[in-house]
């Protein structure tokens, strides 16, 4: 991070997972498929309005995945997307796209998890780690000017939390982020923390102290 008058400030990243889709409702892996929100997903996205103020962010820069479920969530939450990038897209599941974990176990590998096996003919764990590291670097570059909101996806957001905190990406298996849920991260002079995990607005917040 370059020197700036803000280097001694506490910087924040607010990660928002898109609202419910038909595939997330049925636990189907949704990577590059461009699917829209369900009515419930739209309702939960609208409930996110004002989340930047509740998180204590002032004029944050909003980055988002190009997938319509993320873009629509940002729109309904009243967030103006300043930047859209494939860096923030969901894991590319390859052959596992559209399948549930149970189907993947039955058809391919009974011991498979995304955190250890990656996407067959999609993104490996190593490739996802590299991309998420680039996303973390990109967000860090913005810290000199403002806090950041990232509207994205479940596995991407859980991976981002891990890499932002310096953990292996496999630790994402231990993080639960529901549709329309959010995670607030902070950085103060290199001291990084997961400040809060929330479910959809109205759900009970889950606070952590690291």
27 assigned to a ligand binding site = no
Q: Contact at 8 Å (CB) between 184 and 195?
A: yes
Catalytic residue among 11, 12, 18, 153: 18
91 assigned to a ligand binding site = yes
Catalytic residue among 42, 90, 97, 201: 90
Based on the residue annotation, tell me whether 90 is a catalytic residue of this protein.
Answer: yes
Phi, psi at residue 57, to the nearest 5°?
Answer: -95, 140
130-141 burial, b if ≥16 CB within 10 A, otherwise e? ebbeebbebbbe
31 assigned to a ligand binding site = yes
Residue numbers in the known binding site for substrate are: 30-31, 69, 90-93
**Catalytic residue positions?**
18, 90
């Amino acid at each position: 991070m370059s020197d700036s008058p803000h280097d001694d400030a506490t910087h924040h990243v607010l990660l928002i997972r898109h609202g419910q889709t038909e595939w997330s409702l049925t636990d189907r892996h949704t990577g590059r498929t461009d699917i829209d929100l369900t009515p419930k997903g739209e309702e939960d996205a609208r409930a996110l309005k004002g989340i930047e103020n509740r998180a204590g962010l002032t004029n944050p820069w909003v980055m988002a995945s190009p997938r319509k479920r993320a873009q629509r969530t940002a729109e309904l939450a009243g967030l103006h997307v300043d930047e859209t990038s494939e860096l923030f897209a969901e894991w590319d599941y390859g052959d596992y796209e559209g399948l549930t974990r149970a189907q993947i176990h039955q058809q391919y590998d009974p011991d498979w998890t995304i955190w250890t096996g990656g996407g067959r003919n999609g993104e490996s764990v190593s490739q996802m780690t590299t991309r998420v590291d680039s996303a973390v670097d990109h967000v860090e570059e913005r810290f000199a000017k403002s806090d950041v909101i990232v509207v994205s996806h479940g596995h991407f957001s859980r991976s981002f939390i891990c890499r932002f905190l310096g953990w292996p990406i496999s630790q994402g298996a231990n993080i639960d982020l529901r549709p329309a849920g959010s995670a607030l991260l902070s950085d103060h002079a290199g001291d990084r923390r997961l400040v809060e995990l929330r479910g959809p607005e109205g759900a009970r917040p889950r606070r952590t102290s690291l």
